Amino acid sequence: MDMAELAETLRRFYGNNTIRRRMGEFLGSAAYIAGTDGYSDHGAPLSPACLQELLDSGLEVDRSLWDEESLIADIDLEYHNFDDPTAPWLDPERAFRLQQPVLDATLRILGEHGIAPLTLVSGRGFHLVWAIRRASHAFRRLAELGSVPPTLEARYAAAIAPAGFGLDLELGRAFAGLGLIVEYVAHRALEASAPHCAIPVKPTAIEVGPGAHGREIVSFDLSEYGDPLHARHVRIPFSAYLKPRQFHWTLGDEGVRRLFPMFEIPLAGMTPTRAMSTPC
């Protein structure tokens, strides 16, 4: 698919009223959204009211983890190959099959505590997302558990674009507390899944020694919880996934074109293979 065909496919896909409605539901009370053409991982933070503009431009769209009504939890599972970063796109069935024990263990642990996250299939793995209402007992416990250093407390108190206001300190503490809980879940999931995984499982993208397919791992990525809340975002369901454009240097024009279109798809009872092959 050439770039003109991709742009037309995205315009047609994003023009679907049901798709737009579902995107709006996921945005909820997000503090901001961001769009990217895939050549960069980061776009400028914009008001959620700009969603239509980003979709009309055929961009990949993220929403902030910072939310005005809830604490948004996100668990990021990914396949990484440090010798061939394009491997999950060239052989996605293998990449997702290798992650399945980690996904199963994580969902089982969350389920034991009554958490049923929205499971999104991304280009290299899964995002497990759920909301914790600020009026809930769970939110209060997380805020009591977490702490914010003085330097970050000052940053949260300052006006942050595009909202123009600061981030509530209690929300910042709850995010820090959530990071501790997610780290605990990670260690439990890694311990349970490692005997069933054909490659190493790590708590973030840590390089390992070579195997038959290069230096590859399954990552239960904790890195987002080491960043300020307002700096992190997650791709929204049904957004285009344009990251392969960054690997033009190894895939070439034709290789990049062959990979598209790719989208962030809610698993919703499907197998990852079915989700990957769902027509747009």
pTM, 2 dp: 0.94
Interhelix angle 92-111/169-193, nearest 10 degrees: 110
- Classify residue 237 by burial, with Cβ atoms within 10 Å: 0-12, 13-18, 19+: buried
Whole-angstrom distance, CA of residue 80 vs CA of residue 218: 6
d(CA 156, CA 136): 22
pLDDT given at position 4: 80
Three-state SS at 121: strand
Name the residue type at position 57.
S
CA distance 170 to 176: 10
CATH number of 3-277: 3.90.920
pLDDT tens, per residue, the chain with 280 residues = 677 888 889 999 999 999 999 999 999 999 999 999 988 888 899 999 999 999 999 999 999 999 999 999 999 999 999 999 999 999 999 999 999 999 999 999 999 999 999 999 999 999 999 999 999 999 999 999 999 999 999 999 999 989 899 999 999 999 999 999 999 999 999 999 999 999 999 999 999 999 999 999 999 999 999 999 999 999 999 999 999 999 988 888 889 889 999 999 999 888 887 877 765 5
Tell me what pLDDT residue 280 has. Answer: 57
Give the pLDDT confidence score for residue 31 in this predicted structure: 96
pLDDT of residue 279: 59
Check residue 219 and give its pLDDT. 97
In the chain, domain spans: 3-277
Backbone φ, ψ for residue 29 (5° rounding): -110, 40
